[in-house]
């Protein structure tokens, strides 16, 4: 295994799939010779050339319109929307066109494409460049939604997303691009919709996504050492398809459920999981379901304020240790 950064794993997954399938192409703003604003696609232009790695105008609608057209005619495009906040500019294309094409044509037209985007806070980019919008995407029928928490999952999940017959929104947490871990060599694919039990435990189930996963893991270590609590940490990996069975199995074992979400509290993905748990596991719960979230306000750019708003290790430890 090689130790790769989160950003290097993005390029590794894309190169793996572009070598495997000549139909895979890549387009976006400054993604070719520049290697992307987050340097997550360095080397792809040099290997695959200008026909398969293309810079676009600064127009999210044009990027996704071209990607959708390419997918409808037999290619398997990967499109980059630089910041996930900019989905607001092209949301009509995503929601009303890309997500609906196969359904509205009774399967005659497919849109097998991946839309990659830098998502989330922690990098001091302010309210218009730091949003976590995975809950926007989760609410749209016809889209698959993926958000990896480490470099190995980036490679495996992105490869699976590129091979998938449905449109996939692939959210890369911006503050994690520099983090590193061991990544399997060679062809590597992780099936979509399979959560990972990152830490096994018996007292509390903590469900997290993307940048919240390492925080939940660290909190679990502290809770074990300082409070004697055994926490099971589940890395969802995907919101759609959602691995409800792993959540249910864990909560039956622990009797307690905590979700840790970077997105704002109102209508966050944790609310859906809390709803499922309340319906399916009411008699298994020994305490109220607890959600740890960012408050429902725009994200600050000032470091101390942003750190205060986004769930932290300390907040997870305090919340879990005070559960009934």
Catalytic residue annotation: 129
Q: 171 vs 43, 119, 278, CA distance in Å?
A: 21, 6, 28
Contact 178, 6 (CB under 8 A): yes
- Name the residue with tokens 């909190």: 219
């Amino acid at each position: 295994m090689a130790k790769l950064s989160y950003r290097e794993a993005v390029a590794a997954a894309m190169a793996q799939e572009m070598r495997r399938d000549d139909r895979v192409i890549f387009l976006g703003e400054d993604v070719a010779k520049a290697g992307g604003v987050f340097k997550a696609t360095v080397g792809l232009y040099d290997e695959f050339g200008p026909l398969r790695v293309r810079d676009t105008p600064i127009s999210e609608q044009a990027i996704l319109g071209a990607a959708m057209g390419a997918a409808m005619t037999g290619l398997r495009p990967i499109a980059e929307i630089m910041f996930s906040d900019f989905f607001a500019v092209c949301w009509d294309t995503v929601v009303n066109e890309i997500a609906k094409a196969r359904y509205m044509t009774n399967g005659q037209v497919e849109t097998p494409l991946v839309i990659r985007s830098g998502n989330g806070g922690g990098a001091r980019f302010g309210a218009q460049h730091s949003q976590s919008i995975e809950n926007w995407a989760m609410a749209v029928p016809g889209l698959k939604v993926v958000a990896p928490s480490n470099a190995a999952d980036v490679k495996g999940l992105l490869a699976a997303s590129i091979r998938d017959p449905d449109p996939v929104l692939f959210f890369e947490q911006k503050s994690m691009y520099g983090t590193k871990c061991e990544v399997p060599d060679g062809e590597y694919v992780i099936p979509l919709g399979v959560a990972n039990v990152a830490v096994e435990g018996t007292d509390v189930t903590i469900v997290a996504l993307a940048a919240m996963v390492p925080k939940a893991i660290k909190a679990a270590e502290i809770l074990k050492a300082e409070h004697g609590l055994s926490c099971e940490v589940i890395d969802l990996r995907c919101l759609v398809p959602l691995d409800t069975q792993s959540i249910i199995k864990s909560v039956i074992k622990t009797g307690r459920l905590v979700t840790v979400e970077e997105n704002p509290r109102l209508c966050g993905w944790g609310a859906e999981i809390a709803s499922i748990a309340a319906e399916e596991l009411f008699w298994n719960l020994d305490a109220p379901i607890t959600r740890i979230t960012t408050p429902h306000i725009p994200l600050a750019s000032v470091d101390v304020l942003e750190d205060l708003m986004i769930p932290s290790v300390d907040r997870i430890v305090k919340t879990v240790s005070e559960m009934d």
